[in-house]
Amino acid sequence: MNKSIFSINSLSKYSELFQIVGVIGLIASLIFVGLELRQSQQIALSAQQQNRAQMWVDVYNTSTNNDIAFSYPDNEYNQYQLAFHNTNHIFWEIIETDYLRYRLGLMDESIWESRLGIIKSFRTDATDEYCDIRKRVWQSSRNNLDSELVKLVEEIPFEECKKL
């Protein structure tokens, strides 16, 4: 009689072990596929946000090119102030996109920390002549931004603008 480890009788003794290994392999495959689907969904959400932000950037640039301060038609801005106003709207669109990427785990912590530093300087630099514009743009933009981002930004006090 053949005592080989690969004989039918000896393999049938290990059938339960093979089934367990097969089930574990199947479960691991399903977990992997689930993680891949989740990552694909996060990347798609980020891409959608990027597309929306790009659409708004185009709107703000069109406004600038037509000498319009977006959401603030009654102004006495010079050309530079008008561009600064619309560029600040663009800034908040970019920050919102970066914040979503950060929350989804698609942005490194150190990069987000640098963005947060820029936000803090926007909120606390009250000595330049464009402080009022930044404040006005924030009040206009905040209603259209992610509520979690708004909460985060508003935890940073906005210093009162000082006239030079």
The overall longest dimension of the chain from CA atoms, in Å, is: 102
Give the pLDDT of residue 9. Answer: 65
Give me the number of domains the chain comprises: 1
CB atoms within 10 A of CB 158: 16
70 within domain boundaries:
yes
How many Å apart are CA 50 and CA 39, to the nearest integer?
Answer: 16
- Angle at the Cα of 158 (from 164 to 101), degrees rounded to 5? 125
Give the pLDDT of residue 4. Answer: 58
164 within domain boundaries:
no
- Please enumerate in sequence order all residues whose Cβ is within 8 A of that of 75, keeping only pairs 6 or more positions apart, or say none: 69, 81, 82, 85
15-54 pLDDT per residue, tens: 888 889 889 999 999 999 888 898 888 888 888 999 999 9
Residue numbers of the domain that contains 87:
30-154
- Angle at the Cα of 9 (from 7 to 11), degrees rounded to 5? 70
94-148 pLDDT per residue, tens: 999 999 999 999 999 999 999 999 999 888 876 777 888 999 999 999 999 999 9
54 within domain boundaries:
yes
98 within domain boundaries:
yes
3 within domain boundaries:
no
Does the structure show a pLDDT above 60 at 2? no
How many Å apart are CA 103 and CA 45, to the nearest integer?
Answer: 11
34 within domain boundaries:
yes
22 within domain boundaries:
no
Q: Which tokens is 116 given?
A: 């947060």
118 within domain boundaries:
yes
Per-residue pLDDT band for 11 (boundaries 50, 70, 90) equals low
62-90 pLDDT per residue, tens: 999 999 999 888 888 999 999 999 999 99
